[in-house]
Amino acid sequence: MITCCKNCAGKLVYDPKKQMLVCEMCGSLFAPEEVGTRDDGLNADSKARSLNDIYGTDSEDLMDCYVYTCNSCGGEIIINGTEASTKCIYCGNSAVVFSRITRQHRPQGIIPFKITKEEAVEAVRRVFEKGVFIPKQVKQFEADSVRGIYIPYWIVDLMHKGAVVVSGRVGSGKHSKTVYYGRAGRLKLNSLPLDASRMLSDESSARLEPYDLYDLRKFDESFLLGFYSNISDVTYRELWRAASLRADAYFDELAKKSVHDATSKSIHASDQVTAIDYDHIRYALLPAWFITYSYNGRHNTIIVNGQTGKVVCGVPWNKKLFYLLLVALGALLSAAFFLILRQIIPVIFESRSSDSFKAILIMIAGSAVMFSYGISRIRTVINSIKLTQASSIFNFVKKRQG
Amino acid sequence: MDILALILSCGLGFGLACVVLARTLAKSNDVGNSVGKYSDYTAGINYDITRDKLSYQEIDVFVHEYITAEDREPDGRDLDAKVERQ
């Protein structure tokens, strides 16, 4: 396959805006299909070989890497076992390592990048600008790197069967009671994208959704030019587990939604089973921009959906400002509640009935519940922020060259 | 009495402040916290059985009798093998 311009032998890269391959030297444009299937013969002898083949050792200390000879400068690139394309570290040529894309691993579809690098960074800046608790230095971040990476996905159809019991409260006050609702049925999910890379956490990749799969095109190596990509390395068990988790969540959500006459609904008991239609799974590469920046000596990663521009990240927060506001608002609200309760409590005590004792107990319980709920909300948000600051995301990027 | 009012109002006041600020923090710093919706991938559930007002004793039977052993049967695939295109 050629990765050089037919006119001047310059480097070709895929331009998301033009949806064409552009020569960086002379600016010539080529349709991906036009150059994607040609083989220039230079790669005939450059099949990826494992280090064990090269050095004749079976040592477990050696990482399973592969050597690729750049078809532009002849330099050798060592890449990790799951990399499908990369840039030459010596000349920057977008050398597509198609010898790693064997028949088994060659994707069937690809959604080409639609958002350019500049647009991705701009989208992040717009989001950051609105953040109340985002430190000023983060708002004015300088990206250490902005890398377009094609994430491998398995797009699956599945049949999910489930029986769940939803519990909910019916009635109000003294007459409220818990009622149980049974729901059993089948849920068919079509074209569910499941991240096929172990390097990227499922939680992070799920947040990149939705991808518009109508844009899915037949895979062609030319789309990879100028970008990084990985290939699938998940097992059937991991894929099934990811599918089950998603299907369980959707089934629970729909079952709760089907109960109309109750409040405080939750899943009381459930038994569910997922069957993936393996005959129709599709292997596709979906685009994302990975932007890394440093703040307080720590690396942070922002992911931007390369098709829709959706920004996903947990941003470092201004703790000082947050806790200051928490104390100020808490004190203000407490003072307001104090003024009200100071009037009410003596009246309740004076009535000396059994109901007044209950009223006090309810107020104490209400106060404790509100406080613990508030604390748990803050914990949930902080954990969610940490999720997309996890090292797993950064590892996905940092192992790449360039 | 004032002490009781103070303790209760602190619980309510700081609890409410936590809820409000947690929501603001989520909006500000937990960017893109949403996953694909079920409506993107399905037209809905086909319910075979719907029962309202199950008794507590009926729950176990309802949950565990719907899915059959056949549904759980493995398809003979090596689950620890890498997924490959069909």
pLDDT, tens only, B24-74 = 999 998 888 788 888 888 878 899 999 998 998 999 999 999 999 888 888
In angstroms, rounded to a whole number, what is the distance separating the alpha carbons of residues B19 and A41? Answer: 64
Cβ distance A206 to B86 less than 8 Å, yes or no, reads: no
If you average pLDDT over every residue of chain B, what do you get?
87
pLDDT at A227: 83
Are A219 and A252 members of one domain? Answer: yes
**Nearest-CA neighbor of A14 among A43, A34, A41, A42?**
A34
Q: Which of residues 40-99 of A touch B (CB under 8 A)?
A: none
Q: Which residue stretches of A298-353 are H helix?
A: 319-351
What H or E segment, with its residue span, contains residue A130? helix A117-130
Is residue A57 one of the residues assigned to a domain?
yes
Cβ distance B86 to A278 less than 8 Å, yes or no, reads: yes
Is residue A7 one of the residues assigned to a domain?
no
In angstroms, rounded to a whole number, what is the distance separating the alpha carbons of residues A167 and A143? Answer: 48
Is residue A401 one of the residues assigned to a domain?
no
pLDDT at A189: 94
Cβ distance A314 to B31 less than 8 Å, yes or no, reads: yes
Mean pLDDT of A384-398: 61
DSSP three-state, residue A369: helix
Angle ∠(A98,A35,A84) on CA atoms, nearest 5: 20
**DSSP codes, chain B:** -HHHHHHHHHHHHHHHHHHHHHHHHHHHHEET-----GGGT-S-EEEEEEEEEE-TTHHHHHHHHSS-HHHH---S--TTSBP---
Pair of tokens at residue A153 = 């996905």
Write the CB contacts of A298 (distance below 8 Å, at least 6 apart in sequence).
A316
Query: Which residues of A are less than 8 Å from B86 in CB distance?
Result: 278-281
Q: Which of A329, A332, A393 to mutate to test the interface with B (most CBs of B within 10 A)?
A: A329
Choose the final residue of a domain: A269, A298, A316.
A316
Is residue A39 one of the residues assigned to a domain?
yes
In angstroms, rounded to a whole number, what is the distance separating the alpha carbons of residues A291 and A311? Answer: 10
| Facing B6 at nearest CB: one of A183, A338, A384 | A338
Residue A205, amino acid: S
Query: Which residues of B are less than 8 Å from A380 in CB distance?
Result: 22
Q: The pTM is what?
A: 0.80
Are A177 and A251 members of one domain? Answer: yes
Query: Which residues of B are less than 8 Å from A364 in CB distance?
Result: 8
A390 touches chain B (CB under 8 A): no
Smallest CA–CA distance, residue B57 to chain A, in Å, is 11
Is residue A2 one of the residues assigned to a domain?
no
Is residue A400 one of the residues assigned to a domain?
no
Cβ distance B79 to A235 less than 8 Å, yes or no, reads: yes
Percent of chain A whose predicted confidence (pLDDT) is above 90: 36
Cβ distance A190 to B41 less than 8 Å, yes or no, reads: yes
Are A285 and A347 members of one domain? Answer: no
Is residue A136 one of the residues assigned to a domain?
yes
Are A162 and A241 members of one domain? Answer: yes
Is residue A397 one of the residues assigned to a domain?
no
Are A253 and A368 members of one domain? Answer: no
**Nearest-CA neighbor of A15 among A35, A36, A31, A4?**
A31
Query: Which residues of A are less than 8 Å from B22 in CB distance?
Result: 374, 377-378, 380-381
Angle ∠(A257,A248,B58) on CA atoms, nearest 5: 70
Owner of token pair 């602190």: B10
Are A188 and A334 members of one domain? Answer: no
Number of domains in chain A: 3
Query: Which residues of A are less than 8 Å from B36 in CB distance?
Result: 192-193, 206, 209-210
Q: Each residue of A36-51: pLDDT tens digit?
A: 544 444 443 444 444 4
Are A100 and A147 members of one domain? Answer: no
pLDDT at A41: 41
Choose the final residue of a domain: A293, A316, A339.
A316
Cβ distance A281 to B75 less than 8 Å, yes or no, reads: no
CB A267 within 8 A of CB A166: yes
Domain boundaries, chain B: 46-73
If you average pLDDT over every residue of chain A, what do you get?
80
A171 touches chain B (CB under 8 A): no
Choose the final residue of a domain: A316, A338, A361.
A316
Smallest CA–CA distance, residue B76 to chain A, in Å, is 11
pLDDT at A147: 82
Per-residue pLDDT band at A82 (split at 50, 70, 90): low
| Facing B30 at nearest CB: one of A184, A192, A385 | A385
Q: Each residue of A260-287: pLDDT tens digit?
A: 988 889 999 999 999 999 989 999 999 9
Across A23-27, A53-57, A333-337, least confident range: A53-57
Domain, as residue range, for A79: 12-106
Are A276 and A344 members of one domain? Answer: no
Cβ distance A322 to B72 less than 8 Å, yes or no, reads: no
